[in-house]
Structure 1
Amino acid sequence: MAYNLAMTDISLVLPFALPPSELGNDLIRALNMPALASLLTRHSGLQYKTFDNDSCALPHESWLAHALGLASAPDRPDTAAPLATAVMRGCGLQAEAAEGHWFMLQPAHVHISRTHMLLSDLRGLQLSEAESRSLYELARPYCEEIGKPLLHGAPGLWFLRANDWSGLRTATPDATVTQSMSDWLPEGEHAREFRKLQNEIQMLWHEHPVNEARQASGLQPVNSCWLWGGAGPAAPTSQLAIAGGTEWMQALAAQPATVEQLIAQPGAAMLGDLIAPAQVGDWSDWLARMQRLELQWFTPLLAALKAGRIPRVKLVLSHRSGWTTVSSSASAQRKFWRKPTLNPLLKQS
């Protein structure tokens, strides 16, 4: 099913709104979210689906690629979120995106221990425009020398054209974070060529003044780069409103997501505010952001639903291992015998 802003129902996608099973009971006891509880309990349909933990994209990323008409349904992921050229268009690189096969190439920090390597959450880099441009200008000549043009889209968000690498199997950064990085490096015929490119860029950045200044300020050095999201020139066939999330997610947004806009013009929206705290395990921040979602989103949506201003609200709540889909309507909200509870967040099997 394609999603667009001409729909009469509202679809709200909330990555990492499902708590981890081992912390779920404690987390939902700390939440005061009567509107979300009503939407979850007084529903016309609720279903949980598991997701392949070995997938190279997270459930919400697969959902997003499908919603934009770029990939198959999220329960049948065929590629690792082919989003690069769609993100390029959002960065104003429409002409370049219309030709060739592009990847996102993002500066990264890799933590190296005696037994494994870990890709750090890219949001934690907090690259400034000046830092990103400085590192980019070091990497660009080498990329051009090997026939792989490199473009700067935004701080920490670059694009590499590699037509002959179209068969590479890559993983999204958020799928890789918290995992052993060696298990998620690009695979395929040209994987060794990318490793060489990655090594050359790492050497160019080693002990660079940008990194020395970052370390002096207590920030992570930029010691590697991550390749992902490979896509051809196909343009998105649908639009989506997005709030929060990463730079690349915001570049995909047809418009910023607001609850007022969504009620006035129903469609699909993704709220990415929960991704960052969930990825680093900051559950205090996750709780605070959930409470803000209750006030800013669930409460007005429930009121509009009960008033008949919108016919249906569909929530897609996910974590790494699966997602819950729940739909509610004005008639479903009249099921007064169902006591509102957040327990459906725990039903993940």
Structure 2
Amino acid sequence: MPAAKGGSSKGGLTLWLPGLRAWPGEALGEILPRYWGRGRRERLPAANLLDLAARLWNFPAGPLPAAALLAAADGVAVNGRWVIALEAMQIQPRQGQAVVLPMPAETLQVEEMDTLLGAARAHFAGADWEIVGGGPSGRWYVLAQSVPDLQSTPIYAVLGREPLDLMPKGGDAPYWNGIFNELQMLLTAHPVNQRREAEGLEPLRFFWAWGEGRLPDIRPAARWQGLVSPNPWLRALAAWVGVPLLHGLGALPEAELETFWAEAGELLWEWPADWRLEETAPAFAGIVPVLHAAFAAGAAVQLWSGIMSDGMAECVRLRRGDRWRFWRRAAQPGKGAASVGQW
């Protein structure tokens, strides 16, 4: 475990709750509002989670270039180019709408993926940009030297929703949306996908374009000495800036937690559970020993929300003494920013 910078014996924990995106009333349980009421609250504007992540990681203003980070993690030679990710998906009818869903666990064979990618690269060979494959991830990327005027909707905000109103926007959107539509038609007509459909298998023909941007020339100095997260683009970011990936802190024996925090540096723990679900609050109660141990070791603790419906995120900063301030009233994250259940 890396030690804190400057030889300090006290680390810090930032617990990021991106699934906390509104004031969901009783679904919060009792524990989270108790913490939220004891610390110092701050509200911060953020367009989306990528924008908030850029702030957490000291990136230049604007959304995090998730596609370029994922491409670098997949071994793609980005070389300063603008990148947008093409995430394989399916579109299925749900309650009278066509919604975006993840691809099923069963994936295409490597030979099929290579064949489809080769067809796409050959079809667009004359363009001033290129399509490349990301290897085992199954993700494709578009790389360009110039930076288009294009703003996409991140894939996590699209799943389960009707896609038409969420297509990329901006001055260059008509061109790029036309390209993505052309790619879909090319893949739909390809013999690999026609054969798969005939066999009752899911074809690879729909992609969602997202995460556009280019990597900064200078890698920002991250404050973190460790990351806990299941999120692919956060893990790719950690790899790019050289931050070690850690296992879930909740798996540590309680007897070892205080020693852990006495030796740890600044850690970021992303806990992505959706706070609209009834099981989230009891699950959060299970990681409270981690917070108690961090306080006991003198570590500073921060709790960050996701993006509320008013375009703001909330941060609560707590110090060791704050956990004993029982007289402070519990506070609902996002209260006043949205009606109960409005996500």
Q: Which residue in the other structure is 1:40 paired with?
A: 36
Selected match of 1:83 from 62, 66, 74: 66
Q: Does 1:172 align with 2:154?
A: yes
Decide whether the 8 Å contact of 1:116 with 1:181 is kept in 2.
no
Deviation at residue 289 of structure 1 after TM alignment: 4.6
Match of 1:300 among 280, 290, 303: 290
1:107 is aligned, of 88, 94, 98, to 88
Instruction: State the match for 1:291 in structure 2.
Output: 282
Structure 1 residue ranges without an equivalent (≥5):
73-77
Are 2:196 and 2:202, in contact at CA under 8 Å, matched by a contact in 1? no
Q: Counterparts in 2 of 1:260-299, with a 5 A limit?
A: 263=261, 264-274=263-273, 283=276, 286-295=277-286, 297-299=287-289
SS in 2 for 1:255: coil
- Counterpart of 1:10? 13
* Contact 1:110–1:223, Cα closer than 8 Å, also in 2: no
In the TM superposition, what whole-angstrom CA distance separates every residue of 1:46-95 from its partner, at most 9, and x where no partner exists? 234565xxx4xx2x3211123333332xxxxx4x43232223232333xx
* TM-fit CA distance, 1:268: 4.2
What does the per-residue CA deviation read over 1:232-276, in whole Å, with 9 as the maximum and x for residues that have no partner? 2425414454444443333223332443698332324141532xx
Aligned residue number for residue 75 of structure 1: none
Q: Which residue of 2 is the match for residue 231 of structure 1?
A: 213
Question: Which segment drifts farther, 224-233 or 172-181?
Answer: 172-181
Pair 1:223–1:113, CA change in 2 (3 A): farther
Gaps of 5+ in 2: 338-343
Q: 2:233 pairs with 248, 255, 265, which one? A: 248
Q: In the alignment, does 2:7 pair up with 1:27?
A: no
> Is the 1:314–1:328 contact (alpha carbons within 8 Å) kept by the matching residues of 2?
yes
Alignment of 1:131-146 (within 5 A): 133-134=113-114, 135-146=116-127
Report if aligned partners of 2:65, 2:213 keep a CA contact under 8 Å in 1: yes
Residue 347 of structure 1 pairs with residue 339 of structure 2: no
Distance 1:177 1:287, change over 3 A: same
Give the 5 Å matches for 1:165-244: 165-177=147-159, 180-206=162-188, 209=192, 213=196, 222-234=204-216, 236-239=219-222, 241-244=226-229
Query: How far apart in 1 are the matches of 2:64 and 2:215?
Result: 14
SS at match of 2:169: coil
One-letter code of the match for 2:71? Answer: M
Normalised to the residue count of structure 2, the TM-score between the two structures is 0.72
Deviation at residue 328 of structure 1 after TM alignment: 1.2
Go from structure 1 to structure 2 and tell me whether the alpha carbon gap of 1:190 and 1:25 turns closer, same or farther (over 3 Å shift): closer
Change (3 A) 1:66 1:345: closer
1:317 aligned partner: 305
| Equivalent residue for 1:150, pick from 126, 131, 148 | 131
Structure 1, residues 98-117: CA drift from partner, whole Å, max 9, x if none?
33222212222235799976
1:214 and 1:172 map into 2 onto residues whose CA distance is: 28
Encode CA deviations 1:211-249: one digit per residue, 9 max, x unaligned.
Answer: 8758977x8654422222222242541445444444333
Question: What is the DSSP-based 3-state SS (H/G/I as helix, E as strand, rest coil) of the residue aligned with 1:344?
Answer: coil
Q: Is the 8 A contact 1:102 1:161 kept in 2?
A: yes
Report the Cα offset of residue 313 of structure 1: 0.2
Using a 3 Å threshold, how does the CA distance of structure 1 residues 336 and 69 change in structure 2: closer, same or farther? closer
Tell me the matched-pair count.
Answer: 307
Give TM-score scaled by structure 1 length: 0.71
Q: Answer yes or no: is the 8 Å Cα contact 2:69–2:233 preserved in 1.
A: no
Instruction: Please report how far the alpha carbon of residue 202 of structure 1 lies from its aligned counterpart in structure 2 after TM superposition.
Output: 1.0
| d(CA) in 2 for partners of 1:190, 1:270 | 37
Per-residue Cα deviation, 1:298-347 (whole angstroms, up to 9, x for no partner):
32222330x2x1331010012452322111111112213236x4x42352
- Which residue of the other structure, out of 320, 332, 341, is the alignment partner of 2:322? 332
Q: Output the aligned Cα RMSD.
A: 3.7
8 Å contact kept, 1:38–1:333: no
CA distance in 2, matches of 1:290, 1:114: 29
Structure 1 CA distance, aligned partners of 2:107 and 2:294? 40
3-state secondary structure, aligned to 1:149: strand
Question: Is residue 2:107 matched to residue 1:128?
Answer: yes
Is residue 65–residue 83 contact of structure 1 (8 Å, CA) maintained in 2?
A: no
The answer to whether the 8 Å contact 1:107/1:224 transfers is yes
The alpha-carbon deviation at position 180 of structure 1 amounts to: 5.0
Larger radius of gyration: 2
Q: For the residues of structure 1 that align with 2:94 and 2:128, how far apart are their CA atoms?
A: 33
Aligned AA (1:265) = A
**Could you tell me which amino acid in structure 1 is paired with residue 17 of structure 2?**
L
